[in-house]
Structure 1
Amino acid sequence: MEMITTTYDSVDKKILKSLDNNKVLHRPNASAGLWLMPLVGISALATILREDNSYSEICLLIGITGVGLVLSSICLIAQLTIDKSSIKDFQIIYFLPATITSMLYLLWASKGLLVSVSWGLSVGSIGTWGVLQLMSLCPKCFTLGEATTVTHGIILFLLSTCTNLPQRYHLPPLHDDDIATIILQVGIIFVGLVCALCMIIPKIRETKYFYITTFGILIIGVVPLLHILLDQSPLLWMIYFIFGDLQRMTFIIYAATCLLVGSGFLMNQISSDTHAGTAGRKIFHLLAVLVYIPGLMFEPTLLYLASGIIMGIFMMLELLRFLNIPPFGKFLQLGFSVFADEKDSLISLTPIYLLIGMSFPLWMPTTNLDLLTLLSGVLTIGIGDASASLVGSKWGKTKWNGCEKSIEGTVACILSQLIVIYLLAASGFIYNLFSLIRITLVVIGVSFIEARTDQVDNLILPLIFYICLII
């Protein structure tokens, strides 16, 4: 075990030195996070296990892509470890995951040769070389593991979107889940396109041209496209979907109340002109828990739709803040200054990570997830991590060897999650003793990881929890 640890640390240091030599600025005071790199691929591959023998085409493609992403992680680590050339250049080793993934698309998923090669090359190149480009584009914002996780998540989103939307052109969706998926996929692509145009064309960063471009694409492109894909008005569908059911209306009012409370706290903190402490930042974790638990239990489709819309809004608000676009830019920058923690640098990633961590089980392309698996993010970061931070910052006296986190915080992390889980078991949501024992062990293991890691908790803990429960 000691030899494995020593080898890992040696590779980690060698990669950090390689990044530094090539002026790829790593997030300060953090390890490379090599163990984090294959997690998205593993979670995508594990999704097939829940689909038995009758998985959908999208689920199958996501699983194959997961294989490619795991291989991409291995090849990227190997390249950064053994080669002394410029790491920003495309390397021959990156063709290995591209080749294998292309063959799997062709032979397993029965896609055409052109499609298989195109998708395989995309996964192999973006999943390796693209990670380093992201780190170069956003200096000091990511560790290597975090950048890999984000890049691989983008790949899965793009693949599922490119698979789903052409199908819906010929066969409009009938089920609420499918309609919500199309609305969210088109919406996120729209926000991503605006971000890309602002990066490529400097003129669009000016206020007038920014709003002209944004609303132009929305009115001329997004709205007509949604009408074509859905064969109906997306706005009218959302109004009918939300207000056509009393339970959904009640949940929306409840969630809006939580949002108002959070907004009020945000404005009060900004007006006080003091930096938010641990308790202040964890208020948003608590509010998220209060929305997500009833949402996952009673209105998962509505929560799925709402979480995707909020994701698009977060991305657009961060773009407005980064470009300082009036009338919101200055206010958003004040909020960033007040709530940013040591892991936020050029971009405010913490709230986006929180939303992704809480929501990503909902976003996976499978309908065969039980409530506890859907609660992966809620339990780990909404309850466990928040409890660890609050208890550790106030009463944490005994530190773990080699880090600043406390044993008291870890105990709080474990107990808070187990209390919620046992309450769910008492309510009939856990049906057998084996599942209860298994999830108890998972909670303890993930809580120890939370105590020892220097990676972003909001991003990695839900992924690990999800993989442990789904495999």
Structure 2
Amino acid sequence: MLRKKRISYNKPCEELECIPTTLTTSKAFKTLFALDKQVTRNIRSSHIETRPVDSNGLWCCALIPAILISYSVAYKVSPLYKLVAFLGFGLLCYSILFSLFLYMSTLILYSKLNAGCIVSMLLSTVPIYVYTDFGLAMALVFSVLAVYPYSMLLKLALVQCPRTFTVGEAMIMCQSVVLFIVTGVAIYYTEFVTPELLAKDNEMTFIAIYVYTVLSTVGLIVTALYFLQDEDKNLKVLGIIFAFGAVFALTVLHLCLGKTCLPDFVYYIIGSQVRLHLFTMWSVLVVLTVLVLMYHTEAGDKATTSARKAYHILGALVFLTGILNDVPFMVLASGISAGIIILLEALRLSRIEPISAALQAAFDIYCDEKDCGVLAMTPIYLYFGLACPLALVPWRGSKMELELMSGVLATGIGDTAASWFGHRYGVNYWPGSSRTMEGTAFNVGLQMVAVYFLHLFEWLDAPHWVVRTGVAAAVSALVEAQTQQVDNVVLPLVSLLALQATSFLA
């Protein structure tokens, strides 16, 4: 009997054409494959280096817009959420046009404004004007604030960050950044100009102000570090930058929340026994993580895949406990933590000693083959995967914990389980992949077991959880087995879409 030849995960994409599967022989797949292949040729001919994998992942551009639009259609959401969903539609339109332009040439990467931008702005302006109360002028303003920065940021990510992103990954991350920033602008606009469009929720308003203040402060600090001259890269100047950042943050918080902004923040944490317990547990986990990280960095031992996956489990534990016990507090904590992660990466790249050297040493220990670019995206991707459902799901006290846990299930539990079990016991490989069928099966099984125990101990109330979890776990596991895009980014989004597709059972 002839033994089936295993195709390497990183072989040239031409070899994948000979995989005899129904998917690869379909007309739609051949068309997409030809498009992707031509985009790859054009990018390489222009000496632009994307992350070295066979696929550009152009399909990824539809994930976030599809989630936002599906929730807008299926649920009664706020005008603000509809605004963001329609802006996401505009970004999707531009992403499609951008892919088609890349198919023809890479000139779009160097143009400041093109017809694709204008068309996409108009395509998002019309539904905002028709289906929300923002008015034509504001609909156009928000569309311009979303589509044009997205086009510039996408080009910057591909041209100025070599070997860091695939095209699809760059689209996801740029969509996330732009939509998050425009959401903050829209929140302040509705709060001070048209408050009737913003559903009043004092707790969520308090949280949003703190999250956006922290992230905007981090943005200012990162900008200052980027433009810092070599002779000014020292601890003294860094201290001055941080001091100005602190003054800026306190000023904004004082203007928005009053002179008791800091005491109110402390009381918000310690005033609830549940929040105090969560904060204490998370603090202990962070301290232990830092100590382990310092130990391995000092020893100089290169971290194994299992060691890296341990951080997936710790992250999943933090988000799981927060989602099941106090979603608003989890939103606050995740927003502030995102700022800290971004700031640490900026400090690593700042070349301010000894901080940069220490962070670089830790990165060298825990980086993997995906971290071949200028940015350390692995921890950012992991955090994005765990936290993105908190930003995408229109949670307002309703029972949607299963959707909020899509990142925990797909990345923290499923992907970790597939990696461990497949590495140890896997023997049957998927065609064209280094992932095993045994790992995929264990991925699905462990996700369902996790939800079963949460339901058994009444920590989770999710009707028809068996069908919904089964579908979402199967879809995310199959994508994990076949995709060459970063798992931590695409799996939570795919899982969330699958859960939304079965939401009629809830």
CA distance in 2, matches of 1:298, 1:50: 26
Mapped contact 1:204–1:213 kept (Cα < 8 A)? no
Give the structure 2 partner of residue 111 of structure 1.
134
1:452 aligns with 2:482: yes
1:340 deviates by 0.5
Mapped contact 2:94–2:116 kept (Cα < 8 A)? no
Alignment identity in percent?
A: 25
CA distance in 1, matches of 2:147, 2:39: 20
1:101 deviates by 1.3
- Which stretch of the first structure deviates more once superposed, 42-51 or 268-277? 42-51
1:374 to 404, 413, 417: 404
1:369 deviates by 5.7
- Which stretch of the first structure deviates more once superposed, 2-11 or 75-84? 75-84
> Using a 3 Å threshold, how does the CA distance of structure 1 residues 5 and 436 change in structure 2: closer, same or farther?
same
Q: Could you say what secondary structure the match of 1:124 adopts? A: helix
Give the structure 2 partner of residue 155 of structure 1.
178
Give the structure 2 partner of residue 348 of structure 1.
376
CA distance in 2, matches of 1:302, 1:35: 33
Q: Map 1:10-409 onto structure 2 (within 5 A).
A: 10-49=34-73, 51-52=75-76, 55-83=77-105, 85=107, 87-89=109-111, 90-169=113-192, 175-200=202-227, 202=229, 206-207=233-234, 208-219=236-247, 221-344=248-371, 345-364=373-392, 365-367=394-396, 368=398, 370-409=400-439
CA distance in 2, matches of 1:36, 1:326: 38
Q: Could you say what secondary structure the match of 1:250 adopts? A: helix
CA distance in 2, matches of 1:247, 1:432: 25
Mapped contact 2:415–2:487 kept (Cα < 8 A)? yes
Mapped contact 2:59–2:168 kept (Cα < 8 A)? yes
1:83 deviates by 4.2
Mapped contact 1:94–1:124 kept (Cα < 8 A)? yes
1:311-348 CA-to-partner distances (Å, cap 9, x unmatched) read 10111111111112234211111110000111112111
TM-score by length of 2: 0.87
> Using a 3 Å threshold, how does the CA distance of structure 1 residues 205 and 137 change in structure 2: closer, same or farther?
farther
Mapped contact 1:321–1:329 kept (Cα < 8 A)? yes
1:9-45 CA-to-partner distances (Å, cap 9, x unmatched) read 1111111122222332211124100111111111222
CA distance in 1, matches of 2:466, 2:461: 7
Give the structure 2 partner of residue 425 of structure 1.
455
State the AA in 2 paired with 1:78.
Answer: L
CA distance in 1, matches of 2:245, 2:456: 51
1:403 deviates by 1.6
1:152-206 CA-to-partner distances (Å, cap 9, x unmatched) read 0011101110011244457797622221111101211221222233334546962
> Using a 3 Å threshold, how does the CA distance of structure 1 residues 84 and 311 change in structure 2: closer, same or farther?
closer
> Using a 3 Å threshold, how does the CA distance of structure 1 residues 395 and 186 change in structure 2: closer, same or farther?
same
Q: Which runs of 5+ in 1 are unaligned?
A: none
Tell me how many residue pairs correspond in the alignment: 467
Mapped contact 1:98–1:122 kept (Cα < 8 A)? no
- Which stretch of the first structure deviates more once superposed, 165-174 or 393-402? 165-174
CA distance in 1, matches of 2:277, 2:434: 43
Mapped contact 1:396–1:406 kept (Cα < 8 A)? yes
1:459 deviates by 0.6
State the AA in 2 paired with 1:466.
Answer: L
1:239-260 CA-to-partner distances (Å, cap 9, x unmatched) read 1011112222112111122222
TM-score by length of 1: 0.93
CA distance in 1, matches of 2:408, 2:296: 25
Mapped contact 2:145–2:182 kept (Cα < 8 A)? no
Mapped contact 1:22–1:87 kept (Cα < 8 A)? no
> Using a 3 Å threshold, how does the CA distance of structure 1 residues 266 and 110 change in structure 2: closer, same or farther?
same
Give the structure 1 partner of residue 9 of structure 2.
none
Q: Which runs of 5+ in 2 are unaligned?
A: 1-22, 502-506
CA distance in 2, matches of 1:88, 1:413: 42
1:384 deviates by 0.5
CA distance in 2, matches of 1:167, 1:93: 29
State the AA in 1 paired with 2:433.
Answer: C
- Which stretch of the first structure deviates more once superposed, 199-208 or 279-288? 199-208
State the AA in 2 paired with 1:392.
Answer: G
